[in-house]
Structure 1
Amino acid sequence: MNTLIVFTSMTGTTEMMAYALAEAIEKTGDEVVVKDAFDSFAEELTAFERILVGCPTWGDGDLSDEFIDFYEEMVQVDLTGKKAAAFGSGDSSYEHFARAVDILEEGLKTCGCDIITNGLKVDSRSCDEEEIQAKCKWFVEKLMIEKQGCVKL
C-alpha cells in the first residue's frame, strides 16, 4: 500500500512524528512519501491509498496557520474510499489537548476517507524523543491491522 504523509511542524515535534511514522511504515514493506504541507497540493492525495496528515495544535485548539491553506484545499477534494488517519502534537496544559488532530479527522471524513484508527496525539511538553518514537511505532501497528484485513478500528 502506498502512503502519503503530509505535515506541518512548529517546534519540530510533529515533523519528528511524521518521519518516525514513515520509517515504521517502510519497515512493513509499504512505500511512503513525506511532504511538508507548504510543498503539497491537496489533489496529490488522490494518488495514494493511505493518507496521514499531521499538524500541531495552535493556541487553545486550532490548526496551526501553516496548515490552514492545505486543509482548506483538502476538504474540497473527493477522497472517497481512501484510508486515512491524523496525528499531531499538543500541549496538555490547554483545555483542548491536541484538538488539531480531531479537526483533521473531521476534515478527512468530509472528503470521504475511511478513518483507520483514532488519531495519534503527543504531548510536546512531556514526551521525549524515545517516547514519541514508541508511540509512532504503536500507531503504525494499529494501521497495519487494517491493512491485513484483521479488524477495522
Structure 2
Amino acid sequence: MPKVLVVYASMTGNTEEMAEAIAEGIKQAGAEVVLKEAFDASAAELNDYDGIIIGAYTWGDGELPDEFIDFYDEMSSLNLSGKVAAAFGSGDTSYPIYCAAVDIIETKLKELGAAISAECIKFEYNASEAEKEQGRSLGRQIAGLVAVAG
C-alpha cells in the first residue's frame, strides 16, 4: 500500500485543519497516511514514504515559523528524487508577501529532487469548506500518483 506523510506547522490550528483535510483525501483514495506536526517529525522520515505533503503557516514578513525551522534545515541533507510531493499553508494578505512559507517549502522540495505533483494550496486564516475540499482533492491526487508510481 502506498504511504504518504503529511507534515505541518500550525499555531492557531488553521494549517492543522487543512492537513487533516488532506489526510482525509489520502485515505479516501486508499493510501496509508501519517500526519505529524513538524516538531514531532524527523526530516529523515521523508525517505520512508512514497508521497510527501508539507505545510506551514507564514510568519511575520514571509518567514517560516520557528517550530518548523529545525525540520526544514534537516531536509537539506536529503535526496528526494522519485518522491511525489506538494506544499500547502496559511497566510495573511495584509502582509506584502502572501503565504511565502509555501513557496519556500516548494522550492526546497524541488531542490532536493522531489516531483511537485500538484498545485500548492494557499489560504488565508482558516480554510473555507471549499478550500478544505481542495485539500481533500490534493490528498486524493497525491495518493493516486504514488499508487501508480508504486
Normalised by the length of structure 1, the TM-score is: 0.88
Residues 85 and 116 in structure 1, CA contact (< 8 A), matched pair in contact too? yes
- Counterpart of 1:76 in structure 2 is 77
Q: Identical aligned pairs, as a percentage? A: 45
Write the deviation string for residues 35-87 of structure 1: whole angstroms up to 9, x where unpaired.
11111111111010000111000012111111000000012211111111101
Letter in 2 for 1:21: I
Q: Following TM superposition, by how much is the alpha carbon of 1:114 offset from its aligned partner in structure 2, in angstroms?
A: 0.8
Distance (Å, rounded) in 1 between the aligned partners of 2:36 and 2:139: 18
Q: Secondary structure of the residue that 2:19 maps to in structure 1? A: helix
Structure 1 gap ranges (5+): none
Letter in 2 for 1:135: Q
- Counterpart of 1:25 in structure 2 is 26
Q: Following TM superposition, by how much is the alpha carbon of 1:136 offset from its aligned partner in structure 2, in angstroms?
A: 1.1
Letter in 1 for 2:130: E
Letter in 2 for 1:116: S
CA 1:108 to 1:5, structure 2 compared with 1: closer, same or farther past 3 Å?
A: same
The number of residue pairs the alignment matches comes to 147
- Counterpart of 2:136 in structure 1 is 137
Whether 1:59 aligns to 2:60 is yes
- Counterpart of 2:86 in structure 1 is 85
Letter in 2 for 1:133: K
Q: CA RMSD in A?
A: 1.7
Distance (Å, rounded) in 2 between the aligned partners of 1:4 and 1:83: 11
Q: Secondary structure of the residue that 1:60 maps to in structure 2? A: coil
Q: Secondary structure of the residue that 1:79 maps to in structure 2? A: coil
Letter in 2 for 1:89: S
Structure 2 gap ranges (5+): none
Write the deviation string for residues 75-128 of structure 1: whole angstroms up to 9, x where unpaired.
221111111110100011112111100000011112111111221111116x44
1:40-59 paired onto structure 2 within 5 Å? 40-59=41-60
Residues 2 and 49 in structure 1, CA contact (< 8 A), matched pair in contact too? yes
Residues 51 and 143 in structure 2, CA contact (< 8 A), matched pair in contact too? no
Distance (Å, rounded) in 2 between the aligned partners of 1:8 and 1:117: 20
Q: Following TM superposition, by how much is the alpha carbon of 1:145 offset from its aligned partner in structure 2, in angstroms?
A: 6.2
Letter in 2 for 1:18: A
Q: Which has the higher contact order (CA 8 A, sep 6+)?
A: 2
Letter in 2 for 1:39: D
